[in-house]
């Protein structure tokens, strides 16, 4: 199959960090959001004599400020006394781990408005890992900062009996209650990332050792040193913007990535260069287009700084050279981000130890505590302002513009929303910078009533094929909203190498189904899926076949009759994208939640089936129903894996 190609992609023409059709220049840049800037200013006042205190009081009374100037901007009070000291915070985070092991958050002192996030998705406390955890390390690496009320824990847990690498941030409010819990959980998947033998994981005891006064640095200086690490790894070009000790070591997901690996242990960065500074001087981490980060713990006594953030791997190139001339290939050919919690031990003004826990999330995923939830501006198309032919043309124009990142060729509306795999980003980033070819014979479903067209087919990213479903909203000749779902082979089955989807010929009038009935059949299908009662919905043809990410899965009715989909807890947030009565097609977007519990299910005949979902996750799906003569004749879907419980755009 010949794919539509264009000239090789060029770097994004937008100003700032990738730019975009809707964002101001520089928005989303790598400048750190220092959440401790205010706390760092809270230095204790010197002790005054009785006479001095009296004089100070007299001056204070004479110069009582207005409330607006009673304290530094952004601070709730001029006096903020920590209610939970270092030992208290360590006790709280260890109590959190005990409650997690017991799957019982009620053991904790919780604020009424407590918020919990797992891999950057807000969930009701008690869901996600809280329902699947089967063990917790007896000890972990801990850190705390009374000035910010934050504590952290690094280690591993067991989930349904299997190991997972884990780190958590816990925040304690002024009333001594936990009001924020932020967890990063890394499971072993086919995606390339370190994953240790947790039985051999050792946290460096240096993190807990109190430094001699002469080796300490004030909060502001610690922040600069630790943040310099991220500035160095961002667009890593060989320039080192902080200092490291000669024996600096780094542990990532329980594996040393700075010490020479043992024979047969597998490769990582340390196989190319050992030591923190040597790796950065080589430019090993050039793929990090942007490091979004902030620090929530600065412990001057122990020299420990802890940050949270994202490494954005834009993968706008798939080959690069180290400073010594050696050519490297990127492990993945597509945009992705990793979310992380990372701890630094700073001794005598230099980084000595590093420990990080990270996992993959969709590209440009936001942090709900710092960034809020990603809701790109949505364009409201005017129904029937652009007919099916018009919408098809707009969809094709957008898809051709992807090749070579020619986003300027699209006639954008004044306000544009753009997203990939559930995350809002800027036009010009993401797959705009990686797509090298598109399917010449895609399936396009256009609907003047919704003002949307759905393009389904193959794309190539630096020559690697992937499935894509791209939804375009347009009004006349202006494109106002684009959302792309992309499925890559690294996420495993179901998957088949992409080929052009069926064309779906126009149906004779006698075989067509009215729009209202088509939508009713779709609703009935998802209702039957959610019922988990072994019943097949009305209108599901016996001949219906299910195709997922190009892989034929057989009968549509079979899994329903056998009640074999109980491991998918629910199908939710369904949205109709486009309806084509002439060809009998309905395209919808829907989410699937797989909580990975219970461990087994019962079939209709009492047989036990293991739960195939190894860990909690969700799928965001574009599904196409083919409806002939009032019956669902076929299902085709493209799905993208998301962190568990991720919500649709508002």
Q: Which of 234-238, 289-293, 402-406, 605-609 has the lowest mean pLDDT?
A: 605-609
Is the per-residue pLDDT at 526 higher than 90?
A: yes
Closest CA to 510 of 586, 587, 582: 582
| 513 strand-pairing partners | none
Q: Is the pLDDT of residue 641 over 80?
A: yes
pTM above 0.75, yes or no: yes
Q: What digits encode the pLDDT tens for the residues 93-137?
A: 999 999 999 999 999 999 999 999 999 999 999 999 999 999 999
Per-residue pLDDT at 325: 95
pLDDT digits (tens, 9 = 90+) for 448-491: 999 999 999 999 999 999 999 999 998 877 999 999 999 999 99
Q: 548 to each of 235, 408, 497, 643, how far by Cα in Å?
A: 37, 33, 11, 20
Gap between the Cα atoms of 124 and 115, Å rounded: 7
Q: Determine the pLDDT at residue 375.
A: 59
Instruction: Give all domains of the chain, ordered by start, each with its CATH number.
Output: 82-361 (3.10.450.50), 375-643 (3.10.450.50)
Residues facing residue 286 across a β-bridge: none
Mean pLDDT of 583-588: 98
The Cα 275–Cα 243 span in angstroms is 12
**What per-residue confidence (pLDDT) applies to 75?**
74
Would the pLDDT of 395 be above 80? yes
Query: What percentage of the chain has pLDDT greater than the value 70?
Result: 87
Is the pLDDT assigned to residue 68 strictly greater than 50?
A: no
Q: Place 277 in a pLDDT band, splitting at 50, 70 and 90.
A: very high
Instruction: Determine contact, residues 387/448, Cβ cutoff 8 Å.
Output: yes
The pLDDT value given to residue 53: 40
Helix H or strand E segment including 435: strand 435-438
Residue 234 binned pLDDT confidence (cut-offs 50, 70, 90):
very high
């Amino acid at each position: 199959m010949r794919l539509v190609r264009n000239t090789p992609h060029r770097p994004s023409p937008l100003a700032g960090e990738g730019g975009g059709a809707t964002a101001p220049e520089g928005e989303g840049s790598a400048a750190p959001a220092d959440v401790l800037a205010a706390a760092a200013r809270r230095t204790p006042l010197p002790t005054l004599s009785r006479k001095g205190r009296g004089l100070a009081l007299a001056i204070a009374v004479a110069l009582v400020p207005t409330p607006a100037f009673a304290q530094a901007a952004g601070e709730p009070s001029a006096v903020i006394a920590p209610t939970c000291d270092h030992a208290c915070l360590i006790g709280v985070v260890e109590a959190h781990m005990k409650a997690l092991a017991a799957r019982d958050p009620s053991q904790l002192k919780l604020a009424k408005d407590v918020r919990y996030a797992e891999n950057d998705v807000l969930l009701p406390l008690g869901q996600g890992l809280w329902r699947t955890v089967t063990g917790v390390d007896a000890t972990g690496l801990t850190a705390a900062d009374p000035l910010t009320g934050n504590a952290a824990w690094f280690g591993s847990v067991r989930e349904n009996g299997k190991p997972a690498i884990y780190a958590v941030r816990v925040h304690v409010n002024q009333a001594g209650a936990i009001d924020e819990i932020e967890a990063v959980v890394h499971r072993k998947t086919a995606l390339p990332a370190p994953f240790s033998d947790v039985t051999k994981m050792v946290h460096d005891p240096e993190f807990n050792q109190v430094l001699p006064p002469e080796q300490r640095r004030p909060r502001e200086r610690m922040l600069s040193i630790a943040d310099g690490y991220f500035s160095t790894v961002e667009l890593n070009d060989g320039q080192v913007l902080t200092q490291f000790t000669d024996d600096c070591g780094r542990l990532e997901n329980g594996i040393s990535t700075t010490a020479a690996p043992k024979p047969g242990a597998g490769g990582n960065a340390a196989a190319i260069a050992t030591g923190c500074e040597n790796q950065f001087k080589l430019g090993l981490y050039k793929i990090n287009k942007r490091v979004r980060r902030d620090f929530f713990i600065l412990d001057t006594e122990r020299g420990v700084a802890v940050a949270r953030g994202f490494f954005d791997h834009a993968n706008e190139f798939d080959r690069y050279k180290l400073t010594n001339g050696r050519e490297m290939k990127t492990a993945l050919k597509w945009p992705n981000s990793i979310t992380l919690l990372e701890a630094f031990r700073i001794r005598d003004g230099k980084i000595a130890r590093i420990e990080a826990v990270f996992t993959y999330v969709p590209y440009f995923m936001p942090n709900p505590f710092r960034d809020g939830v990603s809701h790109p501006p949505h364009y409201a198309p005017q129904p029937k302002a652009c007919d099916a032919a018009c919408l098809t043309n707009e969809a094709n124009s957008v898809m051709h513009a992807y090749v070579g990142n020619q986003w300027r060729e699209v006639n954008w509306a004044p306000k544009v929303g753009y997203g990939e795999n559930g995350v809002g980003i800027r036009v010009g980033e993401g797959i705009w910078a990686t797509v090298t070819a598109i399917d010449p014979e895609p399936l396009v479903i256009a609907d003047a009533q919704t003002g949307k067209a759905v393009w389904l087919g193959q794309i190539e990213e630096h020559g690697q094929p992937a499935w894509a479903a791209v939804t375009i909203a347009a009004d006349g000749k202006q494109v106002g909203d684009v959302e792309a779902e992309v499925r890559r082979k690294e996420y495993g089955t179901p998957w088949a190498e992409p080929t052009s989807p069926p064309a779906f010929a126009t149906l004779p009038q006698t075989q067509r189904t009215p729009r209202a009935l088509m939508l009713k059949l779709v609703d009935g299908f998802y209702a039957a899926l959610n019922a988990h009662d072994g019943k097949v919905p009305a209108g599901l043809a016996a001949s219906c076949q299910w195709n997922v990410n190009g892989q034929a899965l057989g009968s549509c009715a079979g899994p329903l009759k056998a009640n074999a989909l109980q491991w998918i807890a629910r199908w939710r947030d369904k949205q109709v994208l486009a309806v084509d009565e002439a060809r009998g097609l309905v395209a919808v977007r829907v989410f699937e939640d797989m909580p990975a519990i219970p461990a087994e299910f019962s079939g209709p005949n009492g047989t036990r089936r293991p739960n195939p979902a190894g860990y909690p996750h969700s799928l965001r799906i574009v599904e196409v129903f083919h409806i002939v003569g009032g019956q669902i004749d076929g299902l085709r879907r493209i799905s993208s894996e998301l962190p568990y419980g991720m919500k649709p755009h508002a």
